Chain A
């Protein structure tokens, strides 16, 4: 009680108070926090057990058991295919996604900055947006044949529009007050971009990049099912065609999920950079 009375003054922000009391609780509840952290893993273990029991009680064998799936992953490792396929998929995503980012972000920021350009382009962007990147598969094969280039192109197509729209929005939502303050301190056009515009759009861009990377990872699997002969998407189709190896199909799905998760974790760690984080920490 005494503490809270003392901290009633304006000069002590509430957040600092909250952090201080949070620190005390951390000491007291170290063990229970550990249990809370363990909870998601316990839940996954429970699901795996349920999966095992359900498959065993079902004579038609509609799914491989968890152990067969692990066996499938080990099989892939033994034949040196796991690393090769993962690298192949990541390679395509890296190229398609990076090319899209390099082109879409500057273009989108410029469009967002000039409001008239945004008004002129908006209808066509809204028409292109609902077209699934997968609808481009026939055209990709027509233009680039079956191979890496087609897959990279599809990922590019799938990433370009979301990144462009995010960038347009990010540029549009930079408050005038920051730009005016920058001009008031005598910044020229290049300095305004580097010191005001860039930091102001960064938080929104990072969110857009993270969501789009997830989309790119979805697209690569689909593209590999049709347009190439390596990668995790190819693994899934190939395992089914070549002898109904459903253990490998599910193994491929598990690996796709895990890598997608790791990509997301990587992008999220960018959000934690303090000078980028300002927009998330407000409210």
Chain B
């Protein structure tokens, strides 16, 4: 079970590669190692979950991949090109607090589309409004939307610029458990329709096993990759099947938790 798999799934093009990435902060004169020697390859169109306890550096790793942070050492490449900063081809989805409260649903989805002509933009907006099920709310402001709707709005805003990759940082963490389940299947539906490469950060083991092609299990202080677990179950996944439970329990053990409350 403890195999260190860093290569991408065979036969697919490598989209993202993280090579020997370390990250060190200096806080109050003390060095903190947030990430240590992280190696990971993600292939084109793959759905990868970064899983770990809070404080394990998974969000930091995501931020370095998106170009918001520069690693202390090591390199991150997308399509063989070094990441030098945030890029509209790779959109970061914050929790629902990332939507712009001063813009309507339409305004938010159209935010990254100012280069298109007006009819093209309107068509694109209408398409994504429909895809995330916000019809009838085009002129509404985020304050008038529920948490789940805001989250879908932010995903729509990200997809509208047609990025190759999506980075999602615990996107459903603030939602209630029922909405969270709905959002997971919506995200899978969108992913299957658009085949973006998705890196998804979560601390929820079930969420990771339900969504990902591969689950990257991280350990804390310093953040390292403990294990990479391929989830070889076709979607839609039967979450009471024997294989699902085996995979999930394997990760529970890996993290050092007994599967009993």
Query: B149-181: contact bitstring with A at CB < 8 Å (1 yes, 0 no)?
Result: 100000000000100000000000000001100
B190 within 8 A of A: no
Task: Tell me which residues from 19 to 72 in chain B have a Cβ below 8 Å from any Cβ of chain A.
Answer: 66, 68
Do A15 and B86 touch (CB < 8 A)?
A: no
What A residues does B87 contact at CB under 8 A?
184, 186
B233 within 8 A of A: no
Do A275 and B102 touch (CB < 8 A)?
A: yes
What A residues does B148 contact at CB under 8 A?
10-11
Given the known interface contacts A10-B182, A175-B97, A199-B100, the answer about A184 and B141 at a Cβ–Cβ threshold of 8 Å is no
Q: How far is the CA of A54 from the CA of B97 in the complex (A)?
A: 58
Do A13 and B144 touch (CB < 8 A)?
A: yes
User: What total of chain B residues lie within 8 Å of the partner, measured CB to CB?
Assistant: 31
Do B94 and A181 touch (CB < 8 A)?
A: yes
B187 within 8 A of A: no
Minimum CB–CB distance from A156 to chain B (whole Å) comes to: 30
Q: How many A-B residue pairs have CB under 8 A?
A: 74
A200 within 8 A of B: yes
Do A278 and B94 touch (CB < 8 A)?
A: no
If over half of A's interface residues share one DSSP class (helix, strand or loop), that class is named, otherwise mixed; here it is helix
What B residues does A13 contact at CB under 8 A?
144-146, 149
Do A181 and B98 touch (CB < 8 A)?
A: yes
Do A184 and B92 touch (CB < 8 A)?
A: yes
Do B86 and A178 touch (CB < 8 A)?
A: no
Do B88 and A279 touch (CB < 8 A)?
A: no
B103 within 8 A of A: yes
B112 within 8 A of A: yes
What B residues does A11 contact at CB under 8 A?
133, 146, 148-149
What B residues does A202 contact at CB under 8 A?
102
What A residues does B133 contact at CB under 8 A?
11
What B residues does A275 contact at CB under 8 A?
102-103
Give B167's nearest chain A residue, CB to CB.
A184
Partner of B86, one of A10, A183, A279: A183
Given the known interface contacts A185-B111, A186-B112, A199-B100, the answer about A10 and B178 at a Cβ–Cβ threshold of 8 Å is yes
Give A200's nearest chain B residue, CB to CB.
B102
User: Among the interface residues A14, A175, A186, which one has the most CB atoms of the partner chain B within 10 A?
Assistant: A186
Do B66 and A184 touch (CB < 8 A)?
A: yes
Minimum CB–CB distance from B104 to chain A (whole Å) comes to: 8
B91 within 8 A of A: yes
Do A281 and B141 touch (CB < 8 A)?
A: yes
Minimum CB–CB distance from A21 to chain B (whole Å) comes to: 16
User: Among the interface residues A185, A195, A278, A281, which one has the most CB atoms of the partner chain B within 10 A?
Assistant: A185
Can you list 24 residue pairs at the A/B interface with Cβ under 8 Å?
A: A10-B179, A11-B133, A11-B146, A11-B148, A11-B149, A13-B144, A177-B94, A177-B98, A178-B98, A178-B100, A180-B68, A180-B92, A184-B90, A185-B88, A185-B91, A185-B112, A186-B86, A186-B87, A199-B100, A199-B103, A200-B102, A274-B141, A278-B143, A281-B144
